[in-house]
Amino acid sequence: MYLEKLNPQQRMAVEHGTLTDGSHIAGPLLVIAGAGSGKTNTLAHRVAHLIVKGADPRRILLMTFSRRAAAEMARRVERICRDVLGSKTGVMADALTWSGTFHGIGARLLREYAQQIGLDADFTIHDREDSADLINLIRHDLGFSKTESRFPAKGTCLAIYSRAVNSETALDQVLRDAFPWCAAWEKQLRELFACYVEAKQAQNVLDYDDLLLYWAQMVGESVIAEDIGSRFDHVLVDEYQDTNRLQASILMALKPQGQGLTVVGDDAQSIYSFRAATVRNILDFPAAFSPPADIVTLDRNYRSTQPILTAANAVIDLASERFTKNLWTERQSSERPRLVTVRDETDQARYVAEKVLDHREEGLKLKQQAVLFRASHHSGPLEVELTRRNIPFVKFGGLKFLDSAHVKDMLAALRFAQNPRDRVAGFRLMQILPGVGPSTAQKALDLMSEDASPLSALAAMPAPPRSGEDWTAFVSMLQEMKSGKAGWPAEIELARQWYAPHLERLHEDAATRQADLLQLEQIAGGYASRERFLTELTLDPPDATSDQAGVPLLDEDYLILSTIHSAKGQEWTRVFMLNVVDGCIPSDLAVGATAEIEEERRLLYVAMTRARDGLDLVVPQRFFTYGQNAQGDRHVYASRSRFIPATLLQFFEACSWPQVKSDAAAQAQARQVRIDVGARMRGMWR
Ligand code: ATP
Ligand code: MG
């Protein structure tokens, strides 16, 4: 029986409020516990238990951090249900239709309630890059980029806007707290944001933040809140420590008394404050209700061996604030986590590649091993090394397949067909055509925006002088797509055919890019409609694959490379953590405020607690930086991360690699040092 596999506290959380009668809807529940204590597992069991006890899966709302996590959860729920109730539940667990991310669920609800809230249901969603592009267009229109030569860059403007919206904080305070160097532009930023909001509305686009903001506004209307709230008997949220205030207020609006509400999280793993997530949400949850929410804590870790757990606990013990207590485990092992010193990032890459292959020879699949890093670009040298050795890998986080120019072009075509008022998409597309520059595109878009039927307005326009046939082909592609005659996903072929000659013209490596587009078509085939595809893709892109390593098939074995942020909630038998040095973790971007340093510490804790049996923290003595230091040198001499002070060394096995240096290598190193010293000396006189 599935309940018997759980420990008493887990079982308490699973059965909370369902002991007497399955149909009874329980009061609010918080499960707060450390990494690997079975929170996610408990949540999956709770959902399954509710279904087994008769809850209607279509009336369960389950929100997780990523779509991948939601899919994994649905699988687990289905497995448990099938074991208990036999095959007929296959159908039932499939009916767990309301599971996904906050943003994804928000997008669905907004489309459904569009009419009631004065929104056009055909809205398209801008990802961060599109949003930054739109801000940039407006920045130029307002003339800020010209007259104010040091006006914040588009990315910074977007970050400020996003922070203010997500934390529900006034602009002046956001500037004071987080962007003091931009405070002088408060007036201009206010104007920029006002225009940005207007532009989004005129173009019928929503950015990521809007999905939450509109959702929060929508349920601020009590009639709608009740309507949506009453559709769900149970609302469950995983990784609650990384939600922001808007998300909390949405939950409270849906379930003001907390009936049927379960949230799960770990304050020691709160790592998204840069997106305005706040650990207060989880800490304040119990008292938000009266009577207060029940709290279940879990203290047994099932994931890691005792030595790994001891080391991770030691790192997080130095944190200034923490609610969850240290964990214990029964998994004994004589293998301690390793702290491996290597010369530089090249050696680090070699070390990891060799160890990974060693483990594979011992029978461990590549998929059961992962390499984690603080910033996406840290994996560069490793990606090269893996490619050289033909070790397949997949990368999570950072630059994605979907961010490449040709894929974005195709997606823009689909988006523009869906919503011809989407200026960022239109602006991008038109400039693909030969002879069309920014001003021609702007003019065409202006004419379109003034017309009730933008596509007809486009068709009625004379083609720009040097782009006759290309222009006509472009317009008819859009019209054909909009008509919906080809159907989904066949219509994507229309866009690809239209795009093919341009691809040839614009890119030397057109053949590989064509292959990407074919892959995109395949991915698209898995979605029910254009609208669904665009929404999900923008919100939670499928996993990035490295183009150097080719695209591994699903059943193929591959190594996982991931930023720590994207590794949340997951586990691997063996974990390597790159660049455990000051400047990387804590990131030198964070050096300053205590709160930021504390978040970096939690990041290292998250990384370490992903490991089941083996953990290697690698410390290169030099690493490459993107900026130059005062001496014009791009290499920086690194010291071990401050999160592992000498007092903690006892929890690790310290070693260096390669163990024995050949004379030649030692000489090369000595030469290298002389060169660096020279660069420093010269730099003094620059
Ligand atoms: P994180 O904080 O990293 O998200 P978590 O608390 O959500 O971790 P899970 O991922 O749910 O933890 O569980 C960690 C591991 O422990 C999983 O492999 C899970 O199957 C296992 N596990 C959880 N509970 C039990 C149990 N009662 N018996 C055996 N294994 C368990
Ligand atoms: Mg979890």
- Torsion of Cα atoms, 233 then 237 then 243 then 248, to 10°: 20
Contacts of the segment 446-452: beta carbons below 8 A, 24+ positions apart: 448/420, 448/421, 449/202, 449/203, 449/421, 449/423
**Is the same domain home to 566 and 479?**
no
Q: Kindly identify the ligand whose nearest atom is closest to the C-alpha of 34.
A: 1
Question: Other CB atoms closer than 10 Å to residue 262's CB: what's the count?
Answer: 29
**Is the same domain home to 67 and 194?**
no
Q: What is the DSSP string of 278-293?
A: -THHHHHTGGGSSSPP
Q: Whose C-alpha lies nearest to ligand 1, atom 30? A: 302
For position 549, what pLDDT does the model report? 33
Determine which helix (DSSP H) or strand (DSSP E) holds 77, and give its type and residue range.
Answer: helix 67-85
189 in any annotated domain: yes
For position 108, what pLDDT does the model report? 93
Rounded Cα gap, residues 612 and 309, in angstroms: 9
8 Å CB contact between 190 and 171: yes
**Is the same domain home to 231 and 342?**
no
95 in any annotated domain: yes
8 Å CB contact between 217 and 119: no
74 in any annotated domain: yes
What single-letter DSSP state applies at residue 268?
A: G
Q: Which two tokens mark 73?
A: 């959860």
Last residue of a domain, one of 175, 203, 231: 203
For position 369, what pLDDT does the model report? 97
**Is the same domain home to 382 and 434?**
no
30 pairs with which residues across the strands? Answer: 263, 295
**Is the same domain home to 417 and 391?**
no
Last residue of a domain, one of 203, 237, 271: 203
Query: Given the CA of residue 570, which atom of ligand 1 is nearest to it?
Result: 3
Below-70 pLDDT ranges, the chain: 19-24, 87-94, 146-149, 397-403, 540-555, 590-592, 624-635, 660-686
**Is the same domain home to 435 and 516?**
yes
| Residue 131, annotated as binding a ligand | no
HSE-up (13 A, CA, CB side) for residue 447: 13
ipTM of the complex: 0.99
How far, in Å, is the centroid of ligand 2 from the Cα of 327? 15
Determine which helix (DSSP H) or strand (DSSP E) holds 533, and give its type and residue range.
Answer: helix 530-539
For position 678, what pLDDT does the model report? 40
Q: What is the CATH number of the domain that holds 520?
A: 1.10.486.10
How far, in Å, is the centroid of ligand 1 from the Cα of 51? 21
| Residue 36, annotated as binding a ligand | yes
253 in any annotated domain: yes
For position 633, what pLDDT does the model report? 55
Last residue of a domain, one of 486, 501, 530: 530
423 in any annotated domain: yes
**Is the same domain home to 182 and 130?**
yes
Rg (alpha carbons) of the chain, rounded to whole number:
27
**Is the same domain home to 91 and 163?**
no
Query: Given the CA of residue 44, which atom of ligand 1 is nearest to it?
Result: 11
For position 168, what pLDDT does the model report? 80
**Is the same domain home to 357 and 488?**
no
Q: What is the CATH number of the domain that holds 346?
A: 3.40.50.300
**Is the same domain home to 520 and 409?**
yes
8 Å CB contact between 571 and 369: no
How far, in Å, is the centroid of ligand 1 from the Cα of 38? 3
Q: Kindly identify the ligand whose nearest atom is closest to the C-alpha of 330.
A: 1
Predicted confidence (pLDDT) per residue in 446-491, tens digit? 999 999 999 999 999 999 888 888 999 999 999 999 898 988 888 8
8 Å CB contact between 163 and 178: yes
Rounded Cα gap, residues 196 and 190, in angstroms: 10
Question: Other CB atoms closer than 10 Å to residue 156's CB: what's the count?
Answer: 16
How far, in Å, is the centroid of ligand 2 from the Cα of 239? 7
How far, in Å, is the centroid of ligand 1 from the Cα of 329? 12
Q: Whose C-alpha lies nearest to ligand 1, atom 9? A: 38
| Residue 40, annotated as binding a ligand | yes
> What are the E-state strand segments in 250-323?
261-265, 294-298
Q: Report cis status (omega within 30 of 0) of the bond before 180.
A: no
Rounded Cα gap, residues 579 and 266, in angstroms: 25
| Residue 398, annotated as binding a ligand | no
For position 153, what pLDDT does the model report? 83
For position 551, what pLDDT does the model report? 41
670 in any annotated domain: no
Question: Other CB atoms closer than 10 Å to residue 387's CB: what's the count?
Answer: 16
Tell me how far CA of residue 327 lies from CA of 297, 298, 419, in angstroms.
11, 8, 51
For position 143, what pLDDT does the model report? 87
291 in any annotated domain: yes
For position 321, what pLDDT does the model report? 81
Measure the CA angle with vertex 558, ends 555 and 561; round to 5°. Answer: 135
8 Å CB contact between 22 and 55: yes
| Residue 33, annotated as binding a ligand | yes
The tally of domains found in the chain comes to: 4
Instruction: With CA atoms as reference, report the closest residue to 192 among 169, 171, 173, 213.
Output: 171
For position 151, what pLDDT does the model report? 86
Rounded Cα gap, residues 122 and 419, in angstroms: 6
For position 663, what pLDDT does the model report? 55
What single-letter DSSP state applies at residue 574?
A: E
For position 71, what pLDDT does the model report? 85
| Full residue range of the structural domain in which residue 287 is found | 8-107+212-297
**Is the same domain home to 38 and 143?**
no
**Is the same domain home to 84 and 229?**
yes
- Ligand 1, pocket residues at CB < 6 Å: 5-7, 10, 35-41, 266, 269, 302-303, 569, 571, 609
For position 673, what pLDDT does the model report? 38
366 in any annotated domain: yes
